């Protein structure tokens, strides 16, 4: 039952179409006043009356029915009370029958969204700085899919640049295939750091590096073989982390993929008169738009990060015909995205308006926490292993007989890290604390996962769900029902604002409402009718929490 739709059908407002009216109807944060509300100031322009008067007139003309029991005007708002029994009954039926589809929608049917996220750099360590892009991007992929969109998840690999020439020089001097295969990314980092130390003393190394990079570009067999080795090692290493975080991609087309796709773009820029030469370099002047110029070609003719991004955007449009193309990249790159989006617009690409930079804040580790350091970066793998180990220790202490301890520790440990990164508005900087994310109290993943496990034990205890009807609901029960009913709106809003944290906050709200109900109401009670009603609530909460966590890439556990 779509109450908002029902309300729009019952209100006739001249000059306002039903879809618009639908969009105006809100669900108030506090259900004491009503279950739905229409802020009448939004109608003042069309109806040419003050909001208070509009609300009164509409309330007077409203006739209650089996779904809406009451409609009152309060301070320019029209508040609707629904027939709560009827609502609870139909909602629970809907959640239980839809199961893992509950909350999904087909608003995205026929539309495609490209999501560029994680986008790691080859031969560089996968550190805590990559956590946000990876988990925000992955959650957005799952959320958009849930809403019926076709999603193309893209890992725009950083696999191009002189650093690969440097790496070959370093490899030839201080490493070997065996060493790289054995110590993997650690070995690549070691020789890369060493290169920088040594090149300070011997600048001729940089010429050698440029030479090798040129060889890679020219298709030299041996240099490319080494480059492929570095790439393979990096991808194998990050894949372990992607597996832990339930992250997948549809494309790994990285920067080097666009090597042969930039020339046409550069000619187009020239043909359209957008290129200026400045100190020998080709640029697009953006002064008029209050930005520094966008660099297209260096004076030696080589391309840049922005050149590749412009070519990639054109390629994505041609290949996927996206409705939106998102870039989940830290706010440090704000200018880069503004610049190249502007260049696309100046090229006359009407779809430049569909490009979105989904910016997020920084993650740092609480000072003083224990962390394995390689160079001076904190590896994401170490963070995940630490939380998994810590989760395992807690299980050993509190519930040593638990079945499948390792699996539970993995779900709790990785879940804590993902949830911690998705808990706040994405633009905020985060200070990561092991103790905080692993706590069972407060706004944490273990708290939500524990609530799911609690639902499970209630379900196991109560047995088969039987029929129920006509229950006089108390406030705790109704609060759970009311939060349950908001899920699909939350999912839609999180997609609209590119904000997975809405889903995270929602999971916390639902867990809190359920735990209050669990403490306040005996579920396995004598009264069969009441027991079945409460059991249905419990099952619906389990389904909805599981769906919410799944959208975030977090596993649930039966017991913990
Ligand atoms: N590899 C880049 C970095 O680490 C991020 C790439 C983001 N995606 C893009 N299309 N520019 O900074």
120 Cα–ligand 1 center, Å:
7
Quick one: pLDDT at residue 367? 62
Distance CA 135, CA 419 (A): 9
Provide the token pair at 540: 């619906």
Of 223-237, 321-335, 377-391, 409-423, least confident by mean pLDDT is: 377-391
327 lines ligand 1 (CB under 6 A): yes
Asked whether the predicted pLDDT for residue 1 surpasses 80, the reply is: no
Q: Which among 114, 115, 116, 119 is the best mutation to test ligand 1's pocket, defined by most ligand atoms within 8 Å of the CB?
A: 119
DSSP-derived 3-state class of residue 474: coil
CA of 156 to the centre of ligand 1 (A): 7
Tokens 């910016």, located at residue: 359
Start-to-end CA span in the chain (Å): 35
Concerning whether 124 is annotated as a catalytic residue, the answer is yes
The pair of structure tokens assigned to 501 is: 């944290």
Measured CA to CA, the distance from residue 95 to residue 540 in angstroms comes to: 6
Q: Is the dihedral angle over the CA atoms 310, 312, 314, 320 positive or is it negative?
A: negative
Contact (CB, 8 A) for 275 and 310: no
| Distance of CA 357 from the midpoint of ligand 1 (Å) | 11
357 lines ligand 1 (CB under 6 A): no
Measured from the Cβ of residue 466, the count of other Cβ atoms closer than 10 Å reads 12
Q: Would the CB of 159 count as within 6 Å of ligand 1?
A: no
pLDDT, average across residues 170-177:
96
Model pLDDT, residue 154: 98
What span, in angstroms and rounded, lies between the C-alpha atoms of 438 and 445? 7
Distance (angstroms) between ligand 1 centre and the Cα of 286 equals 22
C-alpha distance from residue 407 to each of 308, 388, 416 (Å): 42, 10, 14
Closest ligand 1 atom to residue 337 Cα is 11
196 catalytic, yes or no? no
Report the residue among 118, 120, 134, 156 best suited for mutation to probe ligand 1: largest number of ligand atoms under 8 A from its CB: 156
CA of 329 to the centre of ligand 1 (A): 7
Confidence at 29, pLDDT banded by 50, 70, 90: confident
CB count in 10 Å sphere of residue 120: 25
For strands 68-74 and 77-82, give the pairing.
antiparallel
pLDDT at 377: 75
Q: What is the mean pLDDT of residues 193-197?
A: 92
| Residue 487, pLDDT score | 97
Residues 6+ away with beta carbon under 8 Å from 513: 476, 479, 480, 482, 483
| Beta pairing partners, 359 | 329
Residue 130 annotated among the catalytic residues of the structure: yes
Closest CA to 378 of 123, 184, 187, 131: 131
Mutate which of 158, 235, 304, 328 for ligand 1? The one with the most ligand atoms within 8 Å of its CB, which is: 158
**pLDDT reading at 385 higher than 60:** yes
**Catalytic pick from 130, 357, 390, 426?**
130
Q: What is the residue-averaged pLDDT of the chain?
A: 94
**Tell me, what's the pLDDT at 12?**
86
- Could you report the per-residue pLDDT of 324-380, keeping only the tens digit for each? 999 999 999 999 999 999 999 999 999 999 999 999 998 887 765 545 554 567 889
Mean pLDDT over 396-408 rounds to: 94
pLDDT for 27 equals: 86
User: Which atom of ligand 1 is nearest the CA belonging to 309?
Assistant: 10
Q: pLDDT value at position 375?
A: 55
Predicted local confidence at residue 438, as pLDDT: 87
Task: Name the active-site residue from 6, 53, 81, 124.
Answer: 124
Task: Check residue 60 and give its pLDDT.
Answer: 94
Q: What local confidence, expressed as pLDDT, does residue 370 receive?
A: 47
CA 116 to centroid of ligand 1, rounded, Å = 8
Is the CB of 158 within 6 Å of ligand 1?
Answer: yes
What would the two tokens of residue 225 be?
């073989």
Q: The dihedral of CA 549, 555, 559, 560: what is its sign? A: negative
List, as one string, the DSSP characters of 152-182.
Answer: EEE---B--STHHHHHHHHHHHH--HHHHHH
Q: What is the pLDDT of residue 219?
A: 87
pLDDT score, position 31: 77
Measured at the alpha carbon of residue 481, what is the angle toward residues 477 and 487, in degrees to the nearest 5?
150
Instruction: Evaluate if residue 479 carries a pLDDT over 60.
Output: yes
Q: Is 88 in a helix, a strand, or coil? A: helix
Q: Could you say which of 127, 324, 426, 492 is catalytic?
A: 127
Contact 311, 255 (CB under 8 A): no
Task: Tell me if 183 sits within 8 A of 147, measured CB to CB.
Answer: no
Q: Is the pLDDT of residue 406 over 90?
A: yes
Rounded Cα–Cα distance for residues 438 and 383 (Å): 12
Which is more confidently placed, 490 or 124? 490
Per-residue pLDDT at 218: 85
Q: What is the DSSP letter of 366?
A: P
Tokens describing residue 34: 């009503």
Q: Convert the pLDDT of each residue in 434-449 to its tens digit.
A: 888 888 788 899 999 9
Q: Is 116 in the pocket of ligand 1 (CB under 6 A)?
A: yes
Three-class DSSP category at 34: coil
Does residue 121's CB lie within 6 angstroms of at least one atom of ligand 1? Answer: yes
Question: What ligand 1 atom has the least distance to the C-alpha of 333?
Answer: 12
Confidence grade of residue 15 (pLDDT, cut at 50, 70, 90): confident
CA of 414 to the centre of ligand 1 (A): 24
Select, from the ranges 77-91, 135-149, 181-195, 202-216, the one with the highest average predicted confidence (pLDDT). 135-149
How is residue 219 annotated by DSSP?
Answer: T
Q: How confident is the model at residue 391 (pLDDT cuts 50, 70, 90)?
A: very high
Residue 188 reports pLDDT greater than 80: yes
Residues 130 and 132: their CA atoms lie apart, in Å, by 6
**Ligand 1 site, residue 419, Cβ cutoff 6 A:** no
């Amino acid at each position: 039952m779509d109450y908002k739709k029902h309300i729009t059908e019952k209100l006739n407002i001249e000059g306002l179409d039903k879809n618009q009216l639908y969009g105006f109807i809100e669900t108030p944060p506090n259900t004491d006043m009503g279950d739905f509300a229409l802020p009448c100031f939004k109608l003042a322009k069309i109806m040419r009356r003050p909001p208070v008067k509009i609300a009164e007139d509409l309330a007077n003309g409203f006739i209650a029915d089996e779904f809406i029991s009451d409609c009152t005007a309060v301070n320019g708002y029209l508040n609707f009370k629904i027939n709560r029994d009827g609502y609870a009954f139909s909602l629970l039926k809907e959640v239980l029958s839809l199961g893992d589809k509950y909350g999904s929608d087909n608003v995205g049917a026929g539309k495609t969204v490209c999501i560029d996220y994680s986008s790691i750099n080859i031969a560089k360590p996968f550190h805590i700085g990559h956590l946000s892009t990876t988990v925000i991007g992955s959650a957005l992929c799952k959320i958009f899919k849930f809403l019926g969109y076709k999603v193309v998840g893209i890992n725009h690999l950083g696999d191009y640049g002189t650093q690969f020439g440097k790496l070959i020089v370093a490899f030839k001097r201080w490493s070997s295939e065996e060493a790289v295969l054995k110590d993997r990314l650690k070995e690549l980092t070691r020789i890369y750091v060493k290169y920088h130390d040594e090149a300070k003393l011997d600048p001729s190394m940089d010429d050698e590096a440029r030479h090798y990079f040129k060889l890679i570009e020219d298709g030299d067999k041996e240099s490319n073989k080494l480059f492929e080795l570095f790439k393979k090692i990096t991808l194998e290493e990050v894949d372990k982390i992607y597996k832990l975080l339930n992250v997948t991609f549809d494309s790994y087309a990285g920067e080097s993929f666009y090597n042969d796709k930039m020339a046409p773009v550069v000619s187009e820029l020239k043909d359209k008169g957008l290129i200026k030469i400045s100190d020998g370099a080709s640029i697009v002047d953006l002064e008029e738009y209050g930005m520094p110029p966008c660099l297209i070609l260096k004076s030696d003719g080589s391309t840049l990060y922005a050149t590749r991004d412009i070519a990639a955007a054109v390629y994505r449009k041609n290949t996927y015909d996206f409705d939106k193309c998102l870039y989940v990249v830290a706010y440090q790159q704000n200018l880069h995205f503004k610049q190249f989006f502007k260049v696309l617009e100046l090229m006359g690409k009407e779809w430049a308006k569909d490009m979105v930079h989904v910016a997020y804040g920084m993650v740092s580790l609480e000072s003083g926490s224990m962390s394995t350091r390689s160079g001076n970066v904190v590896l994401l793998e170490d963070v995940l292993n630490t939380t998994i180990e810590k989760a395992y220790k807690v299980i050993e202490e509190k519930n040593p007989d638990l079945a499948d301890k390792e699996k539970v520790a993995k779900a709790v440990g990785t879940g804590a890290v993902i949830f911690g990164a998705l808990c706040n508005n994405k633009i905020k900087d985060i200070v990561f604390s092991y103790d905080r994310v692993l706590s069972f109290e407060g706004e944490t993943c273990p708290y939500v996962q524990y609530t799911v496990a609690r639902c499970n034990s209630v379900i196991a205890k109560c047995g088969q769900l039987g029929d129920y009807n006509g229950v006089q609901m108390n406030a705790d029960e109704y609060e759970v029902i009311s939060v349950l009913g908001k899920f699909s709106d939350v999912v839609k809003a999180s997609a609209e604002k590119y904000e997975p944290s809405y889903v995270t906050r929602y999971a916390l709200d639902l867990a809190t409402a359920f735990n209050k109900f669990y403490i306040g109401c005996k579920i396995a009670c004598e009264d069969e009718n009441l027991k079945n009603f409460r059991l249905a609530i419990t099952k619906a909460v389990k389904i909805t929490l599981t769906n919410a966590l799944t959208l975030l890439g977090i596993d649930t556990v039966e017991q913990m």
